[in-house]
Amino acid sequence: MRPYENYLCVRDNSWECLIKSELCSLPIDIIKIARREEGIKVIKNSSVKLLRAGENGRSFYDGSTWCIIYNDLAPIECSRYTIAHELGHYYLEHEIKYSQYWNMRTENDKYVSEKYADMFARRILCPSCVLWGMGITSCEYIAKYCMVERHVAEERARRMQLLYSKDKFLTDPCEQKLYSLFSQYIKEHSTVTQSEQRI
């Protein structure tokens, strides 16, 4: 696929993942998403001790189950992102789903599949239409409401600015459906977030 087609694949899969999960508030309950999927098991590394030094997570397919191992001793924001990233490989049907090998995600492993799994993770943890509806523009408030690390919030804030400049919100029926799921939460929090950001 071409880069733009890959982008659309990531975007659409992230929306569909959130809609399927029926979640309607931030921060996104990433463990709930994983547990709703039949055939996925999320495992704390403190239980199995399989991660190497410097690894945030690994995932592998054993022929029947997609296993995600994450560093549960890392900050919660890091653990949430790691699980979301590994779910990205699952939802995007990367080759790991059909083979029996480890996929190591460290800070320096940035293969093409890793790039798109990162994009997926940012989009399910920080859904743009929800941030837009709440009036959130700063990386500080993205980090606060989405419970993500600073560098993730900064990347999402940059993307939000591009979307704002192009006025690209709620142009797709799938995104409209996602926005509708969060509409009550958005209504309850938008005034608060906008007033907080003005302080």
pLDDT tens per residue across span 92-137: 887 654 444 344 444 444 578 888 999 999 999 999 999 999 999 8
Instruction: Count CA within 13 A, CB hemisphere, residue 123.
Output: 24
Rounded CA-CA distance 35/37 in Å is: 5
Q: pLDDT band for 40, please (50, 70, 90 cuts).
A: very high
Q: Is 103 helix (H, G, I), strand (E, B) or coil?
A: strand
Rounded CA-CA distance 19/180 in Å is: 10
Max Cα distance, the chain (Å): 53
Q: Mean per-residue pLDDT for 162-167? A: 93
pLDDT at 101: 39
pLDDT at 48: 95
Q: Is 141 helix (H, G, I), strand (E, B) or coil?
A: helix
pLDDT at 197: 59
Per-residue pLDDT of 136-155, as tens digits, reads 989 999 999 999 999 999 99
Q: In what order do the strands lie in the sheet with 103-105?
A: 40-44, 66-70, 57-61, 103-105
pLDDT at 194: 59
What tokens does 13 get?
A: 């899969």
